[in-house]
Amino acid sequence: MDQEKGRTYCHLIPAIALTLSLILVIGQSTTFTVAAGDKIQKAIDMATSGDLILVESGTYFENLNLTKNITLIGRDTGNGLPVIDALGLGSAITLSAPGIVLDGFCAQNAAGQEQAGIKITSDNNTVVNNTARQSHEMGMYLKDANNNLLASNLAVDNLFGLSLSNSAGNVLQNNRMIGNEQNFLVSSRGSCNQIDDTNLVDGKPIYFLMNKSDITIDALSPAGDIYCVNCRNITVKDQELADNWAAIYLYNTSFSNIIGNRLRGNIFGIYLLNSCNNTIIQNRASENVYGIYMSTESFNNTVFNNTVTKNEFGVFVISDSGSDQKNRIYGNNLNNNARNTFYRNASGAERRY
């Protein structure tokens, strides 16, 4: 987009002083100010490590790629925080270098496989006070990204709200996910991230338990999403969980009880991975892709007296050992699923019903 087009999109900003200005040089650190009609990426390209870029109110139709450890801060100069609009092409903001600070932006209209309003593919960044909205893929996405701080961000009206893939050591605090088709996703096996209950899904806290035992999460503690990683003797009961990647996720978790929960509109209602000797009873799973999913060395689990309806797959079992993993699956009400049960063993043999 040329500069003239930029002016037409930013009609709320007076058409004066729209040039990129270099305002301060102190030693090796330089501060830039970007006003509506200018290109933020131009300032990023001009900056060197340690520089500060201040961005004023306005809508910037760009795909920003932060390739050096700079600080990028959005300022409300009268018309709200600056908006980075990807126009449906790729990610709005990508952090691809370590040590970046991103503070005070609205990133919107990202689209494309593994694209996001804010995409992080590097380590040791600080991402605070941002909004990611109306993206056709992820609102905020960490991929192979470690030891980042995400705090006080909002992901709203995206396909996926906040997603972590193969990322560990990250700290998530006070982030909110609202009205996304799937709000929260951690797809790494047992990744060690610090995700506390100040993070909210549709106003309810995420319970991300690691190395915990002897805990009950019941109706007195309504949850937005529940992860149990390396846990023992956890009870999850009487929860209503909707619109997540996995409503209840167990990784390397044993002797736990999943009782009387209502799970709707998730990719996975209940997901067991490397988890043994658990009891899953009296749950209602409907309108998910997978009602109950067990995979990879999940042995000796009891699945009894659950109502599993209107899912793509009712009960789905994958065995890496060539056996049926010695799970006890019986007495369940399975109906109106595209496939009520599905079993695949290590040799690839399948049974579908």
Question: Letter for the amino acid at 61?
Answer: F
Confidence of residue 320 (pLDDT cuts 50, 70, 90): low
Q: What is the DSSP letter of 17?
A: S
Residue 56 lies inside a defined structural domain of this protein? no
Residue 331 lies inside a defined structural domain of this protein? yes
pTM assigned to the model: 0.88
What is the residue-averaged pLDDT of the chain?
A: 90
Mean pLDDT of 294-318: 93
Mean pLDDT of 293-307: 93
Task: Tell me how far apart the alpha carbons of residues 341 and 353 are, in angstroms, rounded to a whole number.
Answer: 5
Q: Report pLDDT for 187.
A: 84
Here the CATH number for the domain that contains residue 231 is 2.160.20.10
Asked if residue 223 lies in contact with residue 241, where contact means CB atoms within 8 angstroms, the answer is yes
pLDDT in tens, 34-59: 999 999 999 999 999 999 999 999 99
Asked if residue 140 lies in contact with residue 116, where contact means CB atoms within 8 angstroms, the answer is yes
Residue 157 lies inside a defined structural domain of this protein? no
288, 283, 291, 289: which is closest to 262 by C-alpha?
A: 283
CA separation, residue 321 to residues 145, 186, 329, 345, 352 (Å): 32, 25, 18, 7, 19
Q: Which two tokens stand for residue 98?
A: 């370590």
Residue 207 lies inside a defined structural domain of this protein? yes
Mean pLDDT of 333-346: 85
pLDDT in tens, 204-254: 999 999 999 999 999 999 999 999 999 999 999 999 999 999 999 999 999
Q: Report pLDDT for 114.
A: 96
Residue 222 lies inside a defined structural domain of this protein? yes
Domain count, the chain: 1
Residue 243 lies inside a defined structural domain of this protein? yes
Mean pLDDT of 61-69: 98
Task: Tell me how far apart the alpha carbons of residues 33 and 54 are, in angstroms, rounded to a whole number.
Answer: 5
Residue 257 lies inside a defined structural domain of this protein? yes
pLDDT in tens, 106-115: 999 999 999 9
Question: Letter for the amino acid at 300?
Answer: N
β-sheet bridge partners, residue 72: 53, 102
> Range of 252's domain?
203-353
Residue 42 lies inside a defined structural domain of this protein? no
Indicate whether 341 pLDDT > 90: no
* Contacts of residue 348, Cβ cutoff 8 Å, sequence gap at least 6: none
As a whole number of angstroms, the longest Cα–Cα distance in the chain is 73
Residue in the block written with tokens 């998530």? 172
